Each structure stands twice: as structure tokens, then as C-alpha cells.
Structure 1
Amino acid sequence: MNFSANLLGLDNAATPFGLKAMESLQTLNPNKDTATNSQIMFLCLHAGGMTLIPVSIIALRSSAGSKNPTDIFLYCMIATFAATLAAMIIVSLYQKINLLKPIVLAYVGGISVLIGLLVWYLTSLSKENLDTFSQILSNGLILFIFLAIVLGAVYKKINVFEAFVDGAKEGFTTSVKIIPYLVGMLIAISLLRTSGVFDVIIDGMKWVANAANLDARFVDGMPTALIKPLSGSGARGMMMDTMATFRTGQFPGETGRRLQEARIRPST
């Protein structure tokens, strides 16, 4: 469920599922004060957070008046796939896991080839055709996933509504447990914002970019990247500020949105 939520870009929903998964893995941990290899691998894959459809970001862009709120779909998919692949490779090297097994190569190689072919095809499209393709593909995937869930439940004779309610109850209970930590994190982030620390950092980054004769417009979207490893909710607030300041479609706003979804996620 954690990875399913990540695939749909529902990072706030993924956190309770991730905590539940970590609790289950902890029951198998013989050394309770040290994370097992399985827990480390799960945490890193969650942090990579491969996303097929960034539903929450699309919804925010739509509410902000974007003419084509789904046009970030492909960028997010490519970036999060790269992050997930990098996390898996790094952890596997550290834990001495053999990634050259045929089944692993088949899965990873197959997905990599598909995404590579998709990128190659997209580079041949014009801006208008690219926007149209992104919109059709993202909307089609949303419909496909919805139908797949319903049909899968019917096939296995599962009451979808009851399963949803039970999952929501567990998610709410888990969310209540993390509220104190979340409040503390948000207060710390708020202090950094109101104290002007972020302004100093951003001004410094702009100075470096200008000194290197680079386009410094991307720097206005960097607060989202700075906050994202600490708090998904805080990063979303930063993204909304950027959207309000630069409007949907402008470069800083687009940078902030893509950094929000193509992310290093806060750990569960």
C-alpha cells in the first residue's frame, strides 16, 4: 500500500502506510534498536518514491488555474524512477545484494527500457503534442488504475468500501501518532522561514548562479527542495508560496512543483 500511494503521488497517504510497514518489519527485527537491512532498503525505496501519476500535484495545479495541470506527469515519472533506481543500487551495493540475478535484471531493465523509449519518443514531439500526449496518458493511467482496483476486488470477492474504511481507520490512528513530530517539524520550518534564513540562502545561491553566468531563475524554486527532505507538508507549503508568487506556468513555479514531486522524501 505504501508503494501504491507513492505511485499515485499521494505522499501524505504513503507515510502512514510506511509506518505500518516499518512496524511489521520491526516485529521480525532481533535487535530492536538497530534497523535491519530490509528496513533500510524499504526506507530508501520509499524515499525514492517512484511516481506514475502525481495526483496531488496535478490537483494543486488545477486549483491554481493551470491550463494543462497534467503536463508535469512525465517529468515526475522520469525523475522519481531515477531516484528509486539510484536508491536501490546504492543500498544493494552497501548490503552486498546481487542485482545481476536474471529476475532483477528483467524487471529493472524492462522498466528502464520502457522509460527510455518513452523519453526518446517524447523528444520528437512538439510542445503542443507533448502536452496533449501527457494529458491523455496521465488521465488514461488514472482511469486504468481505478478500474484495475475495482476489477481486482471483484475478482477476489473483496468488499472495496469496507476495505477502504478499514484502511482509513488504521491510517487515521497512525496519523494521530505522528502529529506531535509533525507539529514540531512544521514549527521549526516556520521559524526558518520567518527569521529570514531561507532568504539569505536563496540570495547566496542566486549570487553563485549569477557569478557562474547561469540562469538563476531556478533558484526561486529551491526552497521546496531544501524543505522536502525534512517535511513533505512543509515542502508543499513552499511550493504553494512559489505558485502564488510566480503564477502557474512560470519557470520558478514549475521548478518548485517538479522538485516537490521529483524528490528526496522525508523518511517515514
Structure 2
Amino acid sequence: MVILLGISDWMIPCIMVGIIIYGLLKEVNAYEAFIEGATDGLKVVIDILPTLVGLMIAVGMLRASGALTGLAKLFTPLIGWSNFPPELIPIALMRTFSSSAATGLIIDIFKTYGPDSFIGRLVSIMFGCTETIFYTMSVYFMTIKVKKSRYTLAGALIASLVGIIAAYLLTLRFFGC
């Protein structure tokens, strides 16, 4: 364990020194390349900022209006046969939009049920098996100026559903009810 901690302490400094040495060997002005990359990154941030603001406002409206709770109540009868905890439906829905909003809901679950409960473990695994689909699509597609996403949304939603099912089955398998 001490060896791994030592390696992790030195990993980033070694990578930085390695990049500088590589730049010197290739006779590249590392500082100018860094400034150029930072400028390009700032342009990307400016390009996607309106999309991110709109997405954050929409997520805030969903949480504040109670629409998320209403959607969860609609889905509850559909999953009643599976014993999937209905308390996690809002998190599954919110996770597709915003990781930080889903994290806030997860903290509420931890406060209510505890992180070592079945629901706490399930939501933890579920969080690792799903992705913020709409956020990711808006950021990446806006960055590279994709106008038609074709089957991306359908594929991502199916993958997220499979991730939720896998999280449920894994939690049942390793931790039981």
C-alpha cells in the first residue's frame, strides 16, 4: 500500500516533467503550445456555455416544480413487479440530465436510508453504471457542431436502462435484499 501511495504522489509531477522533456527533445516551445491549447479550450467553453446554462435551468425547474416526483409516480406501477425501489426513480431520471442534481438526490437517499443499506448500495452502483446523457450529448455535439444525432439518444437511453438493470441485479447478487 505504501508503494502505491508513493507512486500516486509522484505520478502527476513525473508526467509534467515528461511532457516538458518531450517538448524540449522535439524542439517545441511548450509554453506557447500550452497557451494555444488554453485559448482553444476557452473558446470551446464560450461556445457551449449557453447550452449548459439552459440545461441547468431546466434541471432546476424539474426539481422545483415537482415534475420529477410526478414522473416517478407514473413509472412506479410499471416497475412494481420487479421490487425495484421506487425512491430511486427520480435519481434514474435526473441522472440522464445532471450528475450534480442526481448527487443531491443521492445524498438525500443516504441521509434517509444510509449508504450501507440496500437502497444506498444500489444507488451507488447505479450512479456508476449510468451517464448524464443529455449533458454529454449537448456538450460534445455542440463542440463539434453536430446537427443530427441520429440514433445516439435512443442508444444512450437503452444503455442507461441496461446500466440500471445491471446495477439492480449486481446489488441483489452481492448484497441481497
TM-score normalised over the length of structure 2 = 0.51
Equivalent pair of 2:23/2:29 in contact (CA under 8 Å): no
Shift of 1:179: 2.0
Counterpart Cα distance in 2 of 1:142 and 1:215: 41
Equivalent pair of 2:95/2:101 in contact (CA under 8 Å): no
Pairs aligned (count) = 124
Equivalent pair of 1:239/1:253 in contact (CA under 8 Å): no
| Correspondence for 1:192 | 62
Shift of 1:196: 1.8
User: Of residues 72, 84, 91 in structure 2, which corresponds to 1:215?
Assistant: 84
Change (3 A) 1:195 1:179: same
Counterpart Cα distance in 2 of 1:186 and 1:214: 32
User: Of residues 20, 30, 47 in structure 2, which corresponds to 1:153?
Assistant: 20
Change (3 A) 1:189 1:160: same
Equivalent pair of 2:72/2:90 in contact (CA under 8 Å): yes
| Correspondence for 2:40 | 170
User: Of residues 230, 236, 245 in structure 1, which corresponds to 2:99?
Assistant: 236
Matched position secondary structure for 1:215: coil
Question: Which one has the bigger helix percentage?
Answer: 2
Matched position secondary structure for 2:137: coil
Q: Which amino acid aligns with 1:212?
A: W
Counterpart Cα distance in 1 of 2:106 and 2:7: 26
| Correspondence for 2:137 | 266
Counterpart Cα distance in 2 of 1:245 and 1:179: 29
RMSD: 3.6
Equivalent pair of 2:75/2:89 in contact (CA under 8 Å): yes
Map residues 18-33 of structure 1 onto 2, 5 A cutoff: none
Q: Which runs of 5+ in 1 are unaligned?
A: 1-131, 228-234
Counterpart Cα distance in 1 of 2:7 and 2:20: 20
Equivalent pair of 1:220/1:252 in contact (CA under 8 Å): no
Aligned sequence identity (%): 19
| Correspondence for 2:53 | 183
Shift of 1:256: 5.7
Map residues 41-80 of structure 1 onto 2, 5 A cutoff: none
Shift of 1:225: 3.0
Q: Which amino acid aligns with 2:103?
A: M
Change (3 A) 1:181 1:219: closer
Q: Which runs of 5+ in 2 are unaligned?
A: 141-177
Change (3 A) 1:147 1:140: same
Q: Which amino acid aligns with 1:153?
A: I
Equivalent pair of 1:221/1:255 in contact (CA under 8 Å): no
Counterpart Cα distance in 2 of 1:142 and 1:257: 28
Equivalent pair of 1:224/1:239 in contact (CA under 8 Å): yes
Larger radius of gyration: 2
User: Of residues 121, 126, 131 in structure 2, which corresponds to 1:251?
Assistant: 121
Displaced runs of 4 or more, over 6 A: none
Q: Which amino acid aligns with 2:84?
A: D
Change (3 A) 1:184 1:146: same
Shift of 1:151: 0.9
Shift of 1:241: 1.0
Equivalent pair of 2:23/2:30 in contact (CA under 8 Å): no
Change (3 A) 1:207 1:219: same
Shift of 1:245: 0.8
